[in-house]
Homo-oligomer: A and B are copies of this chain.
Amino acid sequence: MTPPPIPTFPDDLVNRTASSRIVLCVMDGVGGLPHPDHGRTELEAARTPNLDALAAASSLGLHDPVAPGVTPGSGPAHLALFGYDPLVWEVGRGALSALGVGFDLRPGDVAIRLNLATLDEERRITDRRAGRPADDVARPAVERLKREVDLGAGVTFHLFHEKEHRVVLVLRPDEGRVLGAALEDTDPQDVGIPPLDPQARDAASEPTAALLASFIRQAEVILAGEPAIRGVLARGIAAYEPFPSMETRFGLRAAAYARYPMYRGVGRLVGMTVPGVPGSDEEAVALLEAQAGAFDFHFIHAKAPDARGEDGDFDGKVAAIEAVDAWIPRLVALEPDVLLVTGDHSTPAGYGAHTWHAVPVLLHSRWARPTATTFGETACRSGDLGRVRGVDLVSLALAHAGRLQKFGA
């Protein structure tokens, strides 16, 4: 049984004439676990005078990015923060991967996630992930495919190595041509048998199946001499269709400021403008300052807390959070009606990866109900927002910004 999706709020409550501004500051992976020596999390151990001062005039809480117990990837976690329940608004894995490597997907593109795989002389799969090759082993193989595969006229293809065995193929039809994306995976999810042939589920996808079959055949010829990487398996094939924008749904003209392409990509997916490509968090803040009057919703992304958490570097993550704290006053100085500071998920240094743990939230507005003078998991646990889902933060921000009408009489 598929559980019903969780409703958020009826879109028709949105007040489209309001002129208030919302700033969403995401400290990637900010949620943590208590340090065994002193019991404080990374956010609690960090010296964050600016966030603490903000907390004293904010409503605090914790959010589950997707659902309790669910560890989100960055894509779904950000979709939730933008008000798109990732259990409802599905992004094809291929599309998310292409966005993740920073490729500028356009409507009509077909994005396909590929696994590099090992096949034997009879085309039987012996390893569905080609032994999880190191990046410096996988990348040259991908470069060869890029150079040597020829799909003929009417289409261009783009190929990207993600990590280990994971590769993204984007088929872009020429102007006026349409490629369907209703295709079965070629990964049989088993070894000892050959890959499945690309299979179209409708007529519009027959040419796509033919192109993919051609790509796969050529790849196996080109890679025939390789020790482990001898072919590809297609998993997750999707046409790229941007979602109805945040402006359409919430009346918010939105902009994204992020160093890393993935986050700009997810922003674009929901219709955000990307005013530039900052080289540092400070440049991202400067871009935001320059655009402050031009948008209703500003999303600024700081990657370092997550990166240091993934490294297992508690002190490094503390320092990364302190670095964000240092530029918080520049966001406050813009006097947004709502300043929301949170993370997309937890990345405790002691765990060294994304986790499912709830994420601290600070919502600053003149209508806040403050409960603490620090920002951290402990303070947030007894905050006024309570425990919400990531997707609820947009309705809370809209409400605090005077952008939601009353529901019913």
Residues on A lying within 8 angstroms of B by beta carbon are 1-11, 13, 33-34, 62, 66-77, 86-87, 91, 93, 96-97, 100, 348, 351, 354-358, 367, 369-371, 377-378, 381-388, 392, 394-400, 404-409
Contacts and interface: CB of A to CB of B under 8 A. Distances in A.
A356 B33 contact: no
A409 B100 CA distance: 9
Interface of A is mostly: loop
Nearest to A72: B407
A262 to B, nearest CB: 8
Nearest to A353: B406
Across the A-B interface, give the 10 residue pairs with the lowest CB-CB distance, nearest first.
A3-B7, A69-B395, A386-B387, A76-B408, A73-B408, A69-B399, A68-B392, A69-B396, A356-B399, A73-B409
B395 A68 contact: yes
A369 B33 contact: yes
Contacts of A33: 367, 369
Contacts of A388: 68
Given A382-B381, A387-B386, A406 B354 contact: yes
A7 B66 CA distance: 10
A87 B6 contact: no
Nearest to A384: B381
A382 to B, nearest CB: 6
Stoichiometry, copies per complex: 2
A276 B229 CA distance: 53
Contacts of A354: 406
A7 B87 contact: yes
Give the most central of A97, A351, A371, A394: most B CB within 10 Å: A371
Contacts of A355: 367, 399
Contacts of A394: 69
A355 B368 CA distance: 12
A236 B8 CA distance: 23
Given A72-B407, A74-B409, A354-B406, 8 more contacts: A4-B6, A6-B7, A13-B70, A33-B367, A73-B407, A75-B408, A75-B409, A86-B408
Contacts of A96: 408-409
A9 B69 contact: yes
A396 B355 CA distance: 11
Contacts of A395: 67-70, 356
Give the most central of A11, A70, A386: most B CB within 10 Å: A70
Contacts of A62: 386
Contact of A357 (B34, B369, B387): B369
A159 to B, nearest CB: 18
Contact of A4 (B7, B13, B69, B76): B7
A338 to B, nearest CB: 11
Given A384-B377, A404-B356, A2 B10 contact: yes
A84 B39 CA distance: 35
Contact of A7 (B5, B72, B369): B5
A396 B71 CA distance: 10
A369 B34 contact: yes
Contacts of A72: 406-408
B356 A396 contact: yes
A40 B139 CA distance: 62
Nearest to A389: B68
A4 B5 contact: yes
A4 B4 contact: yes
B404 A97 contact: no
A131 to B, nearest CB: 19
Give the most central of A378, A387, A407: most B CB within 10 Å: A407
Given A351-B367, A384-B358, A66 B407 contact: yes
7 contacts: A4-B5, A69-B392, A69-B394, A69-B397, A71-B404, A75-B409, A354-B406
